Amino acid sequence: MVSLQAIKQRFEIIGNSIGLNRALEKAIQVAPTDISLLVTGESGVGKEVIPKIAHQLSHRKHSKFIAVNCGAIPEGTIDSELFGHEKGAFTGATQTRAGYFEVADGGTIFLDEVGELPLTTQVRLLRVLENGEFIKVGSSKVQKTNVRIVAATNVNMQKAIEKNKFREDLYYRLSTVEINLPPLRERADDIHLLFRKFCADFAQKYSMPTIRLSDEAVSALRNYQWKGNIRQLKNIAEQLSVLEEDRSINVDVLTDYLPKLNENLPALISNKKKDSDFNNEREILYKVLFDMKGDLNDLKKLTLELMQANNLSEFKKNNEKLIDKVYNKDNFSEKDNIEIVEVQNKKTDELNKEFTDDFDYIQEVKAIESLSIQDKELELIKKSLEKHKGKRKIAAKELGISERTLYRKIKQFNL
């Protein structure tokens, strides 16, 4: 069996991370067989190297190796590209054409971004995997092919299956052996090695000295998240090689070339709230408003008594319980609250006789306040119904009330 180090040298693979070595060892083991492979990993991790290893170490190495980017071929023509078509099969089909599966007979086909295949094409591909048969577009003749299929994707296949975007039976036929390549951020020790290799290549390509990183810059390089993985690292190396005159790069210069990421910020909480959340918040708000209304009434009564009292100390002494209720009402028992209410009622009766005008004014203010709230409620309901053209369900959701409550309000206000 070929050694891991020999494979790295042959295919110019740089790195010694555990995840990378495990993926390469698995590829070396299954390469001599005709087992279908599914290579998974984020975009830019170098998934295309695994199919090359599988082909070059197999008995098919002298036959054709065809790489097909499934995501780059329009849905209307992908069947023709893969399986071929007969003359006159569709507009523009002026002659018979052989598809990739016919051309690669005896070799290997690499289907990159296989998760982007249309469902109709997936059915055709499943038939090839099961018995090696396919039919050209516009033909009724069944043809045979002997190809090894290696597929790759950066799509979460389980989620794609759940959303009915990828056939489950096809997934299990493709993933006889699944090889996962780790993202670059999980290969911290390999990042600087790759960066130096890219810089050396670009220095030779553009005939200029190789750039060097300071220790702080190397640390920043290792700690960066690299959402674009190896492809992004290579782009940064090329930019620095071409644009920077000073071939010694410090951390400040490097940071200017790294896109700012928000990975250290707190997670965002969804603004969407469930109906139950609105109901709970509304109940709490109503309770607070009712408590505030009761306290306001108590303060109004205390104010009128203060207007009547000649001696402030005597007033505080005679009404101590009532004052405490306003400012610390939770400390009283139910019996104390009953006594306080009795004191309030008694004082109110007395004030009604001597301060009728003032008390009537307060009642009038309360009525105005209540009426203004009712008017606002009526106005909001009208606006919401007009906005949504009478659709009660949508209007109720916007107002933060149930549809049943809105219906009751509509009857109440004769809308």
Considering only residues 67 and 330, tell me which one the structure prediction assigns the higher pLDDT. Answer: 67
pLDDT of 114 reads 94
Across the range 88-103, mean pLDDT stands at 90
180-238 pLDDT, tens digit each = 999 999 999 999 999 999 999 999 999 999 999 999 999 999 999 999 999 999 999 99
Q: What pLDDT shows up at residue 265?
A: 42
DSSP states along 253-270: HHHHHSPP--TTSPPPPP
Domain boundary among 132, 155, 182: 182
Residue 307 has pLDDT above 90, yes or no: no
pLDDT surpassing 60 at residue 239: yes
Does residue 240 contact residue 257 with C-beta atoms inside 8 Å?
A: yes
User: What are the φ and ψ backbone dihedral angles of 101, each rounded to 5 degrees?
Assistant: -70, -30
In terms of domains, do 30 and 114 share one?
yes
In this structure, the chain runs to a length of 415
Least confident of 126-130, 295-299, 329-333, 334-338: 329-333
Whether residue 173 is found in the same domain as residue 190:
no
State the residue for tokens 């509304």.
282
The pLDDT of residue 269 = 45
Rounded to the nearest integer, the mean pLDDT of the chain is 82
CB 110 within 8 A of CB 66: yes
Which has more confidence, 275 or 259? 259
Question: What's the rounded Cα separation, in Å, for the pair 150 and 158?
Answer: 19
Q: Which structure tokens are listed for 201? A: 């290549």
Residues 6+ positions from 23 with CB-CB distance below 8 Å? 50, 179, 180, 181, 182
| Residue 159 sits in the same domain as residue 175 | yes
pLDDT at 9 over 90: yes
248 touches 214 (CB < 8 A): yes
Tell me what pLDDT residue 329 has: 46
* 30 has pLDDT over 50: yes
- pLDDT of 317 reads 57
Q: What pLDDT, on the 0 to 100 scale, is given for residue 289?
A: 72
In a domain, 387, yes or no: yes
CA distance 323 to 347: 13
Same domain membership, residue 52 and residue 158: yes
Q: Is residue 349 part of a domain?
A: yes
**Is there a single domain that holds both residue 330 and residue 396?**
yes
Handedness of CA 51, 54, 55, 60 (dihedral sign): negative
Q: What is the DSSP string of 114-183?
A: GGG--HHHHHHHHHHHHHSEEE-BT---EEE---EEEEEE-S-HHHHHHTTSS-HHHHHHHTSEEEEPPP
Q: Is residue 9 part of a domain?
A: yes
* Any domain includes 268: no
pLDDT at residue 403, rounded to an integer: 78
The predicted pLDDT at position 217 comes to 93
As given in the structure block, the two tokens for residue 399 are 């107002």
User: What domain range includes position 349?
Assistant: 275-412
Q: How far apart are CA 288 and CA 282, in angstroms?
A: 10
pLDDT band at 376; cut points 50, 70, 90: confident
Collapsed DSSP state (helix, strand, coil) of residue 15: coil
Q: Mean pLDDT, to the nearest integer, of 150-174? A: 94
What secondary structure letter does DSSP report for 209? P
What percent of the chain is predicted at pLDDT more than 90? 57
Quote the CA–CA distance of 105 and 123 in Å, as a whole number.
20
Number of other CB atoms surrounding residue 359 within 10 Å:
17
Rounded Cα distance, 183 and 19, in Å: 9
Counting residues of the chain whose pLDDT is more than 70, the rounded percentage is 76
Whether residue 250 has pLDDT greater than 90: yes
Are 209 and 310 contained in the same domain?
no
Beta pairing, strands 142-144 & 108-112: unpaired
pLDDT above 90: residue 18: yes
Per the model's pLDDT, the better-predicted residue between 412 and 279 turns out to be 412
- For residue 264, being part of any structural domain is answered with no
Residue at which a domain ends, from 182, 201, 226: 182
| Range from 171-180, 209-218, 279-288, 314-323 carrying the lowest mean pLDDT | 314-323
For residue 319, the Cα-to-chain-centroid distance in whole angstroms is 61
Strands 212-213 and 65-69: unpaired
Considering only CA atoms, which of 248, 221, 228, 52 is closest in space to residue 152? 52
pLDDT of residue 203: 94
Q: Where residue 60 sits, what CATH number does that domain have? A: 3.40.50.300
Regarding whether 171 and 23 lie in a shared domain, the answer is yes
Which is higher by pLDDT, 241 or 283?
Answer: 241
Q: Tally the domains of the chain.
A: 3
Secondary structure (DSSP) of 37-68? EEEE--TTS-TTHHHHHHHHTSTTTTS-EEEE
The per-residue pLDDT for 375 is 73
| pLDDT mean over 105-125 | 94
Same domain? For 368 and 316 the reply is yes
pLDDT band at 392 (very low <50, low <70, confident <90, very high): confident
Residue 267 lies in a domain: no
> Is residue 338 over pLDDT 70?
no
Q: Which pLDDT does position 13 carry in this prediction?
A: 94
Distances (CA, A) of 295 to 21, 109, 290, 299, 324: 72, 79, 9, 6, 11
Between the ranges 293-307, 315-329, 358-372, where is the mean pLDDT highest? 293-307
In angstroms and rounded to an integer, the radius of gyration of the C-alpha atoms of the chain is 38
CATH number at residue 191: 1.10.8.60
Model-level pTM?
0.61
Q: Which residues contact 110 (CB under 8 A, 6 or more apart)?
A: 48, 51, 55, 65, 66, 67, 68, 150, 151, 152
Residue 168 has pLDDT above 80, yes or no: yes
Domain boundary among 182, 198, 217: 182
Q: Does any domain span residue 265?
A: no
**Plot region of 322 (φ>0 → left; ψ -120 to 50 → alpha; else → beta):** alpha
Residue 358 confidence (pLDDT): 47
Residues 18 and 134 in one domain: yes
Tens digit of each residue's pLDDT (9 = 90 or more) over 352-369:
554 445 445 445 444 444
- Do 83 and 210 belong to one domain? no
